[in-house]
Amino acid sequence: MPLIRISLKRGKSREHIQAILDGVYDATRATFNVPENDRFMLVHQHDEGEFVYGSGFLGIERTDDLVIIQITAAGRTLVQKKALYQDIARRLADKPGLRPQDIFISLIGVQREDWSFGNGEAQLAEPAA
């Protein structure tokens, strides 16, 4: 049930972006046990001056190939979160060839009842007592 937002500088090829989408989705399936077809992903491309980052923050040297991945999800353990970070970095290093230093991931934790997948219903909420 994650909602995934991916931000990067404008100018990458469709194949490059698709590789990022596929790698992140596959990593969430592997580490967060996300069901097949639970794929809700947005790509935001930014022009020069609209994508600002600390190029050396925490001693990590980032480049203009930086990809910021924000994942909203519910109910994951610290072990799962760490596995996700590693899996995304590994997959995106393989394809499309990103440096691990250029992969920034932020998780936003929410409750199961914070989701409506359509029809005005809270499909994952606990039934009312």
Q: Any idea which residues carry the catalytic annotation?
A: 2
Closest by CA position to 32, among listed 100, 99, 85, 98: 85
Q: Say if CB 44 and CB 7 are below 8 A apart.
A: yes
53/128 Cα distance (integer angstroms): 44
Q: Say if CB 103 and CB 23 are below 8 A apart.
A: no
With a CB cutoff of 8 Å and minimum separation 6, the contacts of 72 are 2, 3, 4, 5, 107, 108, 110
Cite the DSSP H helix spans in 1-129.
Answer: 14-32, 78-94
24/47 Cα distance (integer angstroms): 23
